Structure formats: C-alpha cells, structure tokens
Amino acid sequence: MKKFNTHLGIAAPLLKINIDTDAIMPSREMKTVSKMGLGKSLFANWRFLDRGTDKEKLNPEFILNQEEYLSATVLLAGRNMGCGSSREFAVWALVDYGIRAIIAPSFGAIFFTNCIRNGLLPIVLDEKTITVLADQVASNPQGSPLNIDLEGCHVTGPDGGIYPFELPAGDRVMLLEGLDAIDVTMKLNDAINAFKTTDHSKRPWAYLR
C-alpha cells in the first residue's frame, strides 16, 4: 500500500451532506472484478451528462470538471461522507483518480476503513473549519493548496492557519508505514489459534464440522 506522510495538493470543495458510495461509484460502472482503472468512473452521474449514451459529455457545472480543479487531489466534503454501500470500488475509484485525502465532518464507517486500507487519508474536521477552508480555496484554487501532515496530524490552510486532526493510532501507523493489514495480523496467528481453542470449549455450537 502507498505510504502517506505529507501531501500538498489542490482541494476541491464538494460540500454536500450524505455523499453516498453510489454517487462516488455508480453500480453500473463496476464492469469488471478488477480494482484498476476505476478513476474514469468516479462520480460518473455528476461528472458526465447523458452517461453511457452517444450524447455523453462532461458536465461543466461539476466541480472536478472545472479548469482550476482539474488537478485536485484533496476533497472537502459534507458530513457522513461515503455513507451507504460498502463497495470498496468507491475508494478504488478515488485513489485511481488521484485523490489522496478527504476532509469531512464525519464519514461512513465502512468507507472510512476502506480509505485506510487503500492509503487514502480520511480527515475529520468540524463543519465550520471546512467552510473556512473551502472559502479560502475557492477564491484562488490553484494558488491555495492545502498542506496535510500526517506525522504531525494537522492541515495547514492557504492562509497558514493550522488545523489539528485526530486519527486512531493504529490507522495512522498503517498509513505512515504503508503496512498491509493482513501481514500485521498474521503475526498474531498463535494468539488467534489459542483463542479458538478456548472459545471452542465455551461455544462448541458455534463451530461447524
């Protein structure tokens, strides 16, 4: 997994609440089992007009299609970002598109973990702070990148304001070191087997034969 340490990037404000994973990655765009190449489908229903027809074209209204946000690598979003379906395709699409971090007041729980597993940093900041950042960014998107420091756990805004955030320590280490969660847990295999032995005598009915 790609490590995350610091990131300086253009941010795009998408300040809508309850942005669901159907919106991030519509089901009809999931055409192969592969995780690769999904960026072209990101936000397909919003990014394109008449998607899938011969009249298909980019929706000029959608923020990621606007010239000054074309190179955005950070999203500013409303609360409950990534709610809905557990489809990891949504995160794979964001990563493939080039998004490195998402800042929102809260996240859907499954989506949050999916982000961590794929090197995409979910940052929780309060709604007011996000509005402030969005306003600063909007006045000059290209000249107002956000500086994200995971080591120090803070975001530096365009005006130099520093906004600290928290991330569970385990998740932070996973991202900083680019660890594979399965490798980490496999080191605990003996403890898992010991648990199973004890559990089997306590809940024998839970074990199928």
Partner 1 sequence: MKYTLFDKVWNDHVVTQQNDGSSLLHIDRIFLHERTGSAALASLEASGRKIKNPLHVFCTMDHIVDTFPGRTDQTTMPGGTEFIKVTRDLSLKENITLFDLGDVRQGISHVVSTEQGIALPGCTMICPDSHTCTLGGIGALATGVGSSECEHALVTETLKFTKPKQMRVIFTGEKQSSVTAKDMILHLIALHSAAGGSGYAVEFAGPMVESLDVEARLTLCNMAVEFSAFTGIIAPDTKVFEYLKGRPYAPVDELWEQAMEYWSTLATDQGAHFDREIIIDCADIAPTVTWGTSPQHAISIDGQVPALISGDSDSRRSMEQALNYMGLESGQSIEGLPIQAAFIGSCTNSRLSDLRIAADILKGRKVSANVRAICVPGSTQVKLAAEKEGLDRIFLDAGFEWRESGCSMCFYAGGEGFLSGERVITSTNRNFEGRQGPKCRSHLASPATVAASALNGTITDVRKLEHST
Which residues lie near partner 1 (CB under 8 A)?
15-18, 20, 22-23, 26-35, 45, 51-52, 78-80, 83-89, 91, 106, 108-110, 113-114, 117-118, 127, 168-170, 181-182, 185-186, 188-189, 191-192, 195-196, 199, 202-206, 208-209
Q: Are 181 and 1 in contact (CB under 8 A)?
A: no
The single-letter code of the amino acid at 24 is I
Nearer to partner 1, 142 or 180 (CB): 180
Would you list the DSSP string of 26-41? -GGG--SS-STT-GGG
CB of 59 to partner 1, least distance (A): 13
Nearer to partner 1, 113 or 147 (CB): 113
CB of 8 to partner 1, least distance (A): 26
Nearer to partner 1, 58 or 188 (CB): 188
Nearer to partner 1, 60 or 160 (CB): 60
| Neighbouring C-beta atoms of residue 180, cutoff 10 Å | 12
| Neighbouring C-beta atoms of residue 127, cutoff 10 Å | 14
3-state helix vs strand vs coil in the chain, percent to 5 = 40, 20, 40
